[in-house]
């Protein structure tokens, strides 16, 4: 049993940091099997909410994905104006089919994409966003939000709440 198996989201604190991240020019595979450019996917004109997950995770990832699912619901009719992005940190196991099944478990709509790819592409994406740990069992909860293309990224370390994520999307809130 690892220490991170004892996760109590209600007791966690979330730290908020801003910064710029260089999106690596890597190719990933979306849950529908389409090969895509990560920069193109993240720079499609919409705000981005980004998390790194893996489908066999039983601790951090289900909580993070549940929060993204709740965010999707909270956004209501504006949800298609925000790109929710989940990138696998276990691409050897997380095939597009497994990602589709995982996405269905969390009621992911069309605005929430799940990505896999080569081990090198996944590691490059993790490194670029400062979440690479070298071992999927050591990953930590972090959600990255960019309110608009070109805007700084906000990194929420810990288990971000739906309210914290919505607060980082002011233009979407105003339009609701």
Q: How many CA within 13 A on the CB side of residue 97? A: 2
- What confidence category does residue 140 fall into, taking pLDDT thresholds of 50, 70 and 90? confident
Nearest to 72 by CA among 113, 125, 36: 113
**Could you count the other beta carbons within 10 Å of the beta carbon of residue 58?**
8
pLDDT at position 174: 59
For the domain bounded by 23-175, which CATH number is listed? Answer: 3.40.30.10
CA distance 152 to 111: 21
- The confidence score (pLDDT) of residue 175 equals 58
pLDDT tens digits for 66-97? 999 999 999 999 999 999 999 999 999 999 99
């Amino acid at each position: 049993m690892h220490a991170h198996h004892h996760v109590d989201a209600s007791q966690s604190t979330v730290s908020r940091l801003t910064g710029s991240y260089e999106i690596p020019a890597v190719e990933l595979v979306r849950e529908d099997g389409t090969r895509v450019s990560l920069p193109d996917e993240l720079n499609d004109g919409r705000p981005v909410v980004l998390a790194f997950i893996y489908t066999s995770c039983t601790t951090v990832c289900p909580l993070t994905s549940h929060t993204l699912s709740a965010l999707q619901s909270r956004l209501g009719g504006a949800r298609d104006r925000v790109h929710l992005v989940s990138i696998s940190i276990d691409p050897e196991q997380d095939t597009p089919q497994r990602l589709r099944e995982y996405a269905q478990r969390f009621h992911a709509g069309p605005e929430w994409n799940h990505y896999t790819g080569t081990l090198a592409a996944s590691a490059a994406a993790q490194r670029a966003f400062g979440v690479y740990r070298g071992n999927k069992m050591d990953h930590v909860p972090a959600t990255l939000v960019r309110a608009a293309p070109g805007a700084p990224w906000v990194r929420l370390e810990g288990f971000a709440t739906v309210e914290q994520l919505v607060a980082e999307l002011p233009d979407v809130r105003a339009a609701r």
